[in-house]
Amino acid sequence: MKYLDEFADPVVARRLLNDIAATVTRPWALMEVCGGQTHTIIRNGIDQLLPDGVEMIHGPGCPVCVTPLETIDRALAIAARPEVIFCSFGDMLRVPGSSDDLFRVKSRGGDVRVVYSPLDAVRIAQANPGKQVVFFGIGFETTAPANAMTVLLADRLGLANFSLLVSHVLVPPAITAIMDSPTRRVQGFLAAGHVCTVMGMSEYQPLVERYQVPIVVTGFEPLDVLEGIRRVLVQLEQGRAELDNAYPRAVSREGNPEARKVVADVFTVTDRNWRGIGAIPNSGWRLADRWAGYDAEQRFDVTGIVTAESEHCRSGEVLQGLIKPVQCEAFGVECTPRNPLGAPMVSSEGACAAYYQFRRLQAAAS
């Protein structure tokens, strides 16, 4: 067990692994939804420590990876305008659009700024009244309360030069899409802990019942992930399908009511195209109509976007759990974090980036 001493508490890790080994009598396929969990699994070799036949399928929970190509191209067009200061989380800078990325727009003189928090973008708008400041509001339910608050704050401050390019995605509809897919193999889910910190757990009960699939809310640290896996496997072996919380220190049933209220005020549910996956009904948030004045899509009339994905990139299959990144021929050859062909090679949550960071040598050796 080569990785075991890298766990915070190797004794607890070994106990959990022994429990898992004693529980499992046949093969199971589990999906971790969150890209942070994917990185933990690959970094700590959790998939290799599990009993033979227990497979971890990596889910689409990397917001950077699933932001639609059309939206990336739109962002690039807006960011290139001379009157615009374009603010984004750092992860987005190298995400490939059809023929460009934000990093290159910046190097050609575009005012593209990496911010830690969307609040920083509001401050930049305050400080630059002569410029249009656009924030690229992407992410799952975890970043939505922050992004939503910028609109309320800009409104309170009367900022006419601030807008949001919104492309939020939601976890429960993604689980629905995975379970409705004809290629589905997933028998149990680790739900993303911090998504539930915001939203609570109530949205998952109907999914458990409808698909008779165990869903366990799980954190992203190595021991958390092991415990989540153990709880899913115990349910599967006992023929149960329940909603469980393996991350109670950060997740309560009701989530964060204040955050949910603001998000419900500012955003409204919309169909969303997931990059590499396709359209999923009711799977995103856009700005609610009453906040349309802050919508960068409406403020900047970008027309003529023609999207083109890389021909070699198999990110769609990676994001749907159909192949592992190392099965993509471009992996580590034409496609590296410095020169990514697809978004999953970019982000600190992308599956291809995780395999590149932690499995490259192993893949080459095998």
Which residues of this chain interact with other proteins, rule CB under 8 A? Answer: 8, 34-36, 43, 63-64, 89-91, 114-120, 139-140, 142-143, 145-146, 149, 153, 156-157, 194, 197-198, 220-222, 249-252, 256, 258-259, 262, 347-349
**DSSP one-letter code for 5:** G
Q: Which of ligand SF4, other proteins, none lies near 325, with the C-beta cut-off 5 to 8 A by kind?
A: ligand SF4
Q: Which of ligand SF4, other proteins, none lies near 183, with the C-beta cut-off 5 to 8 A by kind?
A: none
User: Minimum Å distance from CB 167 to ligand SF4?
Assistant: 19
Q: Which of other proteins, ligand SF4, none lies near 344, with the C-beta cut-off 5 to 8 A by kind?
A: ligand SF4
CA angle at 180 for the pair 176 and 184, rounded to the nearest 5°: 105
Stretch that binds ligand SF4, among 175-183, 232-240, 261-269, 308-316 (CB under 6 A): 308-316
Q: Which of other proteins, ligand SF4, none lies near 119, with the C-beta cut-off 5 to 8 A by kind?
A: other proteins
- Comparing CB distances to other proteins, the nearer of 114 and 179 is 114
Q: Which of ligand SF4, other proteins, none lies near 8, with the C-beta cut-off 5 to 8 A by kind?
A: other proteins
What is the C-alpha to C-alpha distance for residues 136 and 102, in angstroms, rounded to an integer? 11
**Site membership for ligand SF4, residue 136 (CB under 6 A):** no
Q: Which of ligand SF4, other proteins, none lies near 91, with the C-beta cut-off 5 to 8 A by kind?
A: other proteins
User: Minimum Å distance from CB 35 to other proteins?
Assistant: 7
The three-class DSSP label of residue 214 is coil
- Using CB under 6 A, which residues numbered 188 to 207 contact ligand SF4? none
State which residue has the least CB distance to ligand SF4: 342
- Determine which residue in the list 57, 191, 233, 318 makes contact with ligand SF4, applying CB under 6 A: 318
Three state DSSP letters for 21-80: HHHCCCCEEEEEEEHHHHHHHHHCCHHHHCCCCEEEEEEEECHHHHCCHHHHHHHHHHHC
User: Minimum Å distance from CB 15 to other proteins?
Assistant: 17
144-157 and 118-127 helices cross at what angle (nearest 10)?
Answer: 20
Contacts of 325 (CB under 8 A, 6+ apart): 318, 331, 344, 351, 352, 354, 355, 356
What is the C-alpha to C-alpha distance for residues 186 and 179, in angstroms, rounded to an integer? 7
Structure tokens at 208: 């458990």
Q: Which of other proteins, ligand SF4, none lies near 249, with the C-beta cut-off 5 to 8 A by kind?
A: other proteins
Binding mask 319-358 for ligand SF4 (x = CB under 6 A): ------x--x-xx---x----xxx-xx------x------
Contacts of 363 (CB under 8 A, 6+ apart): 326, 331, 332, 355
Overall size of the chain counted in residues: 366
CB 321 within 8 A of CB 57: yes
**Site membership for ligand SF4, residue 96 (CB under 6 A):** no
What are the b/e assignments for 132-168, b being 16+ CB within 10 Å? bbbbbbbbbbbbbbbbbbbbebbeeeebebbbbbbbb
User: What residues line the site for ligand SF4 (CB under 6 A)?
Assistant: 312-315, 318, 325, 328, 330-331, 335, 340-342, 344-345, 352
